[in-house]
């Protein structure tokens, strides 16, 4: 789950990371009164769950409250990378001297958290990473030992941070580490962390990704979820307890079990197809769940064929087949479907599906080949 900038920064502040004074507004009028409270010179920032807002015109400075109102009304009418702006953050403007990139995230390959920093922070950080990776430092953190003080000092030295700021930087690094671990974040990012002309160091921007599987122990964070900003299909999937991730291919995949789903996608690719999604329907395969999954898959305009790969363990295959038939009767999908059922009562399940003129397959390889072929025919 992604948090908005204003939400991330409020969490940072609780952990001792300095942030500018500011508040969120939903109307230009509110933006004006917040700007007045803050003394006039403010920055108006679109709150959308994508990066690169600055370059898209979603971050603008105002010299007084009247200008803040005008800018806020323009930004509130914007759409950034397809997302309508519904809120703006009004922060007191900072006079920036230096922009630093600083984050903590998961390094899956190293199986450890990693702290990443660069003196070349700001809106061009992707360019820096691509063209001059030597300007970026990465230091792994032992999850059991936690962030050590010397590691924060190593970062400070690498980014040539003036000595005067080392103590504050150490507190910020320790704070961000606690944010990352205690909030079950997979990313806690400050870009830019700035040094201001009046010699303060603070987080001007904030971004957090929270591990969805840990949300059960963070009800306060779960409440922060902005459903308006999510793809409707993902919100719908969550409602039915389905794990759905949209991808760019044209073969819809409906599978029970995350590992089996990954395998199914790999096999589809092996035979020249591209999966349209990851979808784990989880345990059981009640008709309403299958139907919801089918609706979600079919809502994707790219889908040309659907591959169902179901292992019937506790749920018997004949029950699954009945669920599939009930769901297809209700939805009447136009995309061809290939079903591979294996497990308890598989033969009975396959027979039910064949009787209803559905394509069945005995093995995953067979199913993937048939789905890839069906998608090609459907395109032509
Ligand atoms: P992003 O583009 O979505 O990452 O949004 P940011 O919050 O990082 O803002 C983009 C850029 O706007 C920053 O890198 C700064 O250069 C600039 N910016 C943001 N806030 C201020 C501010 O208070 N004062 C000044 N002078 N520039 C700002
Ligand atoms: Mn930023």
pLDDT in tens, 199-219: 999 999 999 999 989 999 999
| Sign of the dihedral through C-alpha 329, 331, 336, 337 | negative
Which residues are annotated as catalytic? Answer: 101, 189
> Which positions ≥6 away from 105 have C-beta within 8 Å?
113, 114, 116, 180, 186, 187, 188, 189
Query: Of 157, 199, 193, whose CA–CA distance to 175 is shortest?
Result: 193
Confidence of residue 87 (pLDDT cuts 50, 70, 90): very high
pLDDT in tens, 322-375: 888 988 888 888 899 999 999 999 999 999 999 988 899 989 999 999 999 999
Mean pLDDT value across residues 299-307: 93
50 lines ligand 1 (CB under 6 A): no
**271/257 Cα distance (integer angstroms):** 21
Residue of 7, 43, 62 to test ligand 1 pocket, by largest number of atoms within 8 Å of CB: 43
**22/283 Cα distance (integer angstroms):** 46
CA-proximal residue: ligand 1, atom 3 (nearest)? 53
pLDDT score for 144: 95
43 lines ligand 1 (CB under 6 A): yes
pLDDT in tens, 215-270: 999 999 989 988 777 777 888 898 888 999 989 999 999 999 999 999 999 999 99
Mean pLDDT value across residues 16-26: 98
pLDDT score for 163: 97
**123/238 Cα distance (integer angstroms):** 33
pLDDT above 80: residue 288 = no
pLDDT above 70: residue 23 = yes
Peptide bond into 211 cis (omega under 30): no
Q: Please give the mean pLDDT across all residues of the chain.
A: 94
Ligand 1 atom closest to residue 51's alpha carbon, by position in its atom list: 3
pLDDT score for 367: 96
Q: What is the pTM of this model?
A: 0.80
Confidence of residue 378 (pLDDT cuts 50, 70, 90): low
Confidence of residue 302 (pLDDT cuts 50, 70, 90): very high
CA-proximal residue: ligand 1, atom 8 (nearest)? 205
Confidence of residue 380 (pLDDT cuts 50, 70, 90): low
pLDDT above 70: residue 285 = no
pLDDT in tens, 119-178: 999 999 999 999 999 999 999 999 999 999 999 999 999 999 999 999 999 999 999 999
CA-proximal residue: ligand 1, atom 15 (nearest)? 122
Please say whether the beta carbons of 136 and 101 come within 8 A.
yes
pLDDT in tens, 92-112: 999 999 999 999 999 999 999
pLDDT above 90: residue 82 = no
Please say whether the beta carbons of 193 and 203 come within 8 A.
yes
Residue of 89, 123, 202, 207 to test ligand 1 pocket, by largest number of atoms within 8 Å of CB: 123
pLDDT above 60: residue 196 = yes
pLDDT above 70: residue 6 = yes
356 lines ligand 1 (CB under 6 A): no
Residue of 41, 205, 207 to test ligand 1 pocket, by largest number of atoms within 8 Å of CB: 205
For ligand 1, the distance from its centroid to the CA atom of residue 71, given in whole angstroms, is: 15
252 lines ligand 1 (CB under 6 A): no
């Amino acid at each position: 789950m992604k948090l908005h900038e204003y939400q991330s920064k409020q969490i940072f502040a609780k952990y001792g990371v300095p942030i500018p004074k500011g508040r969120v507004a939903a109307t230009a009028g509110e933006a004006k009164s917040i700007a007045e409270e803050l003394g006039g010179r403010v920055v108006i920032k679109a709150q959308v769950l994508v990066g690169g807002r600055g370059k898209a015109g979603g971050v603008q400075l105002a010299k007084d409250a009247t200008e803040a109102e005008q800018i806020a009304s323009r930004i509130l009418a914007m759409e950034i990378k397809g997302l309508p702006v519904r809120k703006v953050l009004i922060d007191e403007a900072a006079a920036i001297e230096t922009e630093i990139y600083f984050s903590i995230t998961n390094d899956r390959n190293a199986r450890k958290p990693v702290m990443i920093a660069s003196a070349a922070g700001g809106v061009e950080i992707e360019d820096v990473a691509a063209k001059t990776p030597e300007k970026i430092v990465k230091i792994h953190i032992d999850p059991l030992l936690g962030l050590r003080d010397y590691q924060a000092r190593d970062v400070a030295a690498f980014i040539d941070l003036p000595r005067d700021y080392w103590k504050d930087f150490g507190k910020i690094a320790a704070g961000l580490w606690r944010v990352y671990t205690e909030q079950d974040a997979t990313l806690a990012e400050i870009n830019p962390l700035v040094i201001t002309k009046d010699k303060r160091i603070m987080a001007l921007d904030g971004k957090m990704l929270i591990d969805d599987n840990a949300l059960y122990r963070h009800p306060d964070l779960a409440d922060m979820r902005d459903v308006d900003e999510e793809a409707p299909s993902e919100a719908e999937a969550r409602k039915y307890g389905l794990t759905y991730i949209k991808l760019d291919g044209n073969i819809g995949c409906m599978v029970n079990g995350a590992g089996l789903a990954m395998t199914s996608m790999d096999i589809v690719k092996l035979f020249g197809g591209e999966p349209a999604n990851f979808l784990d329907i989880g345990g059981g395969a009640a008709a309403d769940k299958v139907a919801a999954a089918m609706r979600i898959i079919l809502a994707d305009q790219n889908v040309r064929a659907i591959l169902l790969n179901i292992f019937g363990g506790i749920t018997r295959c004949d029950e699954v087949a009945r669920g599939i038939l009930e769901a297809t009767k209700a939805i009447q999908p136009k995309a061809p479907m290939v079903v591979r059922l294996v497990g308890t009562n598989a033969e009975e399940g396959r027979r039910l599906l064949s009787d209803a003129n559905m394509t069945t397959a005995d093995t995953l390889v067979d199913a993937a080949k048939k789905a890839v072929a069906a998608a090609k025919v459907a395109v032509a």
